[in-house]
Amino acid sequence: MYKNILVSALVNLGDVVLTTSALALIKKHFPDARITMMVKRVVSEAVLNNPVVDDVIILDYRAKERSLSKIFSAVKDIRRRHFDLFISLDRKSRAALLALLAGIPKRVVPSKVFDQKKSLVTTLFTDVIEIEHDLDRTLQAQTYQTIVRKFFGLDDEAQPVFARITDQSRSTVDRLFERLPSARLKIALCVKGTFELKTYPKEYFARVVDELRAEYDAAFFIVGAPNDRSYADEVIGLIGTTVENFCGETSLIDLAEIFNRSDLLITVDTGATHIAATTGVRMVVMYGCTPVERWRPINPNAIALSSNEPCCPCSVKPEQCPSHPKPNCLYHVEPQQVLDACRQLIGGYDENV
């Protein structure tokens, strides 16, 4: 059996978190196998110090890293590690070429993983795993696990696994939470998606927070990336109560600890959603142009909301949406639906909450 495995996941944060379910499945059946993950630097925190990952190779995508010398340096590094199996969870040509040039004898790739398009990259592999299910109606984590199940002949499944929480992150969250007013509930908000058709309307978010604040003794705060901060301030400006803005002040590990300590998360479909799901936090997720069946959080304490528009999923630019500037997929998920879901998860506010 394979003892030294390289797995490529040169994808964005949410996908990287979901790919760890496939690694967890390998570890479950082959605990002695050493698993190295190849990822982009921006998401590396998710897999460094991760229980199902033994080592990490960070592959930079900056233009200055594209010289032949850099490529051969990466090939040399991979070759010296003596991998006996390469599994591509992304079908990226760069990683496939590196694995081929490094002489990894067994190289596995799915026939599809993100869309229905065929790719010549599969010719660089020794094994192509046929993915027969409908991608948009299947959890993305299940697609990643199907690759592993079919190759190794397995029939069970596993859950995504996030990196271990550090003492440094615990201290960071202690300091952040000192800025919150004293309250029975801590409610986290993630208000901005990676693109406009995943971003719940500001005025809807404001109404949800205002009504929850009127009903519950709760402290609210927004989390996100540094470039989300100004947008978060705009949302806060519409809310009639104090909301702290933590955007840009947290690492990915800090985020996981924040969700561990939160009573509720109200969020759009973004990478942080899948980090939160690994903590089991109660969460309400509002979906726009992406299909819930594929991207809902793997968390029994989550409620996913979507208007299930007939045009979903889509990949059009916001201005090309037929219902622009108020896309139906976002504006048809009414604040009342979000409020009802929040109340259901809070489960009746009393001294035991």
For the cut 60, the answer to whether the pLDDT of residue 63 exceeds it is no
Question: d(Cα 350, Cα 200) in Å, to the nearest integer?
Answer: 29
162 domain-assigned? no
Together in a domain, 134 and 189: no
Together in a domain, 199 and 144: no
Query: Among 95, 120, 152, which residue terminates a domain?
Result: 152
**CATH number assigned to the domain comprising residue 88:** 3.40.50.2000
Together in a domain, 137 and 172: no
pLDDT in tens, 91-124: 999 999 999 999 999 999 999 999 888 889 999 9
Together in a domain, 145 and 180: no
Taking residues 20-29, report their average pLDDT.
Answer: 98
Residue span of the structural domain in which 37 resides: 4-152
- Predicted local confidence at residue 36, as pLDDT: 98
Together in a domain, 180 and 313: yes
196 domain-assigned? yes
Amino acid at 155: D
Together in a domain, 209 and 251: yes
158 domain-assigned? no
Going by the DSSP 8-state scheme, the letter that residue 166 receives in this structure is P
Query: Among 127, 152, 177, which residue terminates a domain?
Result: 152
Together in a domain, 218 and 298: yes
- Predicted local confidence at residue 66, as pLDDT: 57
Going by the DSSP 8-state scheme, the letter that residue 116 receives in this structure is S
Distance of CA 282 to the CA centre of its chain: 16
351 domain-assigned? no
Helix (H, G, I), strand (E, B) or coil at 215: helix
pLDDT in tens, 137-173: 999 999 999 999 999 999 999 999 999 999 999 999 9
Residue 88, C-beta contacts closer than 8 angstroms, at least 6 positions apart? 7, 8, 95, 96, 99, 107, 108, 109, 110, 125
Percent of the chain with pLDDT over 70: 96
Mean pLDDT over each residue of the chain, to the nearest integer:
94
Percent of the chain with pLDDT over 90: 90
Phi, psi (deg, nearest 5) at residue 346: -65, -35
205 domain-assigned? yes
pLDDT in tens, 260-281: 999 999 999 999 999 999 999 9
What domain count does the chain have?
Answer: 2
Q: Give the pLDDT band (50/70/90) at residue 72.
A: confident
Question: d(Cα 178, Cα 176) in Å, to the nearest integer?
Answer: 5
